[in-house]
Amino acid sequence: MNLIHAIRRLAGILAGLATAALASTAAPAALASTPPGRAWLPSWADPPLPVHVHAAATGGIPGWQATLIAIGVALLVATMAVLAGRAWAARRKPAKGAASVRHASGGPAPTPAPPVR
């Protein structure tokens, strides 16, 4: 295995362990916090807290917003398709033109005679 691959694998493992350690230390603190305005932890006997419902869950997205999203996605996909096509065309080997054709003798192709007037 290449040295760079080993370093990359070690960095990935260390990043995963750091994320797990951070999540395990931050989760208990977040779960033990009290809601604003209350001095005790909530229990089953408490009245329910007010619920904030997202607009997309209650009424859906208005038609004009859905249209704008669809147009934006279509433009983004078209732009990415054009860029991918150009990148693909740039990587292709150019076709051999008349200037690069060699004569059967191995030398450059003979130049044509000028037209007779």
Tell whether 85 is covered by a domain: yes
As given in the structure block, the two tokens for residue 44 are 């089953």
Q: How far, in Å, are 38, 63, 67, 77 from residue 74 at the CA level?
A: 48, 16, 11, 5
Tell whether 74 is covered by a domain: yes
Tell whether 48 is covered by a domain: no
Query: What pLDDT sits at residue 1?
Result: 66
Backbone φ and ψ for 33, nearest 5 degrees, come out as -75, 150
The long-range contacts involving 1-8, CB below 8 angstroms and separated by at least 24 positions, are: none
As given in the structure block, the two tokens for residue 113 are 């005679």
Residue for token pair 């493992």: 13
Count of CB atoms situated within 10 Å of the CB of 109: 13
Tell whether 66 is covered by a domain: yes
Tell whether 81 is covered by a domain: yes
Tell whether 82 is covered by a domain: yes
Coil/strand/helix, residue 108: strand
Tell whether 75 is covered by a domain: yes
Overall number of domains in the chain: 1
Which residues span the domain enclosing 73? 62-90
Query: What pLDDT sits at residue 113?
Result: 75
Q: ∠ CA 113-116-117 to the nearest 5 degrees?
A: 150
Query: What pLDDT sits at residue 81?
Result: 94
What's CA 107's distance to the chain center, in Å? 50
Task: Read off the pTM.
Answer: 0.33
In order along its 117 residues, the chain shows pLDDT tens digits of 688 888 888 888 888 888 888 777 766 655 665 556 665 666 666 677 677 777 666 667 788 888 999 999 999 999 999 999 998 888 877 666 555 555 556 666 667 777 777
Tell whether 112 is covered by a domain: no
Query: What pLDDT sits at residue 89?
Result: 85
